[in-house]
């Protein structure tokens, strides 16, 4: 922890940041004074820190903050910057690599950020097992599987609320003409497919949605499928580059060119 604490202390004392968003114990915490840093921890628990940072930047328009970033946090941060939810010049990311146990538990393909200040890079885990089993089924079996999963939904909105890429001002999942109110489970499969469509080109495979789901629906597998479709069709993977514009961001401006292999 010392390299991280020393770097945060330096940034705070030099006035380069007004606070550092990390963890104290198992919970997110904004450290604003160097003497608080004894409580700075890297918890195995995960929260959408970039989403919290976006709210902080909104509350403090002139503020500049440090941010603890794991691999999934960095991917989320990149997408939020591209979608103008975070100003990149007002964030100082400090990278932490996940250990092997956490990487395997999360099924993370890239369990480390680009620049690592704390920890060592470990092998990722692809986590495609369920999707491969589903692909081995025929269409009717797959349909029955997903309908049985969607039937468990209690419409708590946990998947939406925890997701660092759910940032719309108005949510389609609350629109009566798409999703009727007052029904549990929500209309199947509309509720989950609407959200899956919205995750195409955005989902960074952090897995927080699945962790938050009290019904144990394998949401991550659903979003892996739409992520793969976007990659196969457009050669695009969310969370890799601030400069690379997502395919759906070109809609209407006439500048997107279909890859040669798809023509």
Tens of pLDDT, residue by residue over 70-108, are 999 999 999 999 999 999 999 999 999 999 999 998 889
Under 8 Å between Cβ of 189 and 150: yes
Q: In Å, how far are 80, 136, 142, 252, 258 from 139, measured between CA atoms? A: 35, 9, 5, 34, 29
Say yes or no: 231 and 133 in one domain: yes
Residue 95 lies in a domain: yes
Q: In Å, how far are 11, 64, 152, 216 from 52, measured between CA atoms? A: 20, 14, 29, 25
Residue 53 lies in a domain: yes
Q: What's the first-to-final CA gap in the chain, in angstroms?
A: 51
> Residue 189: pLDDT band by 50, 70, 90 thresholds?
confident
Alpha-carbon dihedral 239, 241, 246, 250, rounded to 10 degrees: 160
Q: Which two tokens stand for residue 162?
A: 């925890």
Q: Is 260 helix (H, G, I), strand (E, B) or coil?
A: helix
Q: Which domain holds residue 31?
A: 2-106
Tens of pLDDT, residue by residue over 16-30, are 999 999 999 999 999
Give pTM, 2 decimals.
0.88
Domain count of the fold of the chain:
2
Domain end (from 69, 91, 106): 106
Orientation of helix 219-234 relative to helix 190-199, angle to 10°: 40
């Amino acid at each position: 922890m010392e390299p991280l604490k020393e770097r945060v202390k330096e940034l705070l004392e030099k006035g380069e940041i007004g606070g550092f968003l990390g963890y104290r114990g198992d919970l997110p915490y904004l450290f604003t004074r160097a003497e608080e840093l004894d409580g700075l921890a890297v918890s195995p628990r995960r929260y959408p820190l970039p989403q919290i940072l976006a709210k902080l930047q909104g509350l403090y328009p002139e503020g500049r903050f440090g941010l603890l970033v794991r691999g999934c946090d960095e991917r989320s941060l990149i997408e939020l910057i591209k979608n103008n939810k975070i100003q990149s010049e007002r964030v100082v990311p400090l990278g932490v690599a996940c250990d092997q146990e956490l990487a395997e538990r999360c099924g993370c393909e890239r369990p480390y950020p680009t620049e690592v200040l704390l920890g060592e890079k470990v092998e990722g885990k692809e986590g495609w097992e369920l999707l491969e089993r589903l692909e081995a089924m025929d269409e009717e079996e797959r349909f029955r599987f997903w309908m049985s999963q969607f039937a468990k939904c209690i419409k708590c909105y946990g998947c939406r609320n925890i997701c660092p890429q759910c940032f719309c001002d108005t949510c389609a999942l609350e629109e009566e003409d798409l999703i009727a109110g007052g029904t549990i489970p929500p209309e199947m499969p509309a509720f989950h497919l609407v959200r899956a469509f919205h995750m195409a080109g955005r989902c960074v495979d952090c897995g927080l949605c699945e962790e938050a789901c009290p019904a144990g629906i394998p949401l991550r597998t659903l979003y892996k499928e739409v992520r793969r479709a976007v990659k196969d069709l457009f050669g695009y993977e969310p969370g890799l580059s601030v400069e690379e514009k997502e395919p759906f961001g070109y809609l209407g401006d006439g500048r997107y060119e279909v890859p040669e292999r798809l023509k």
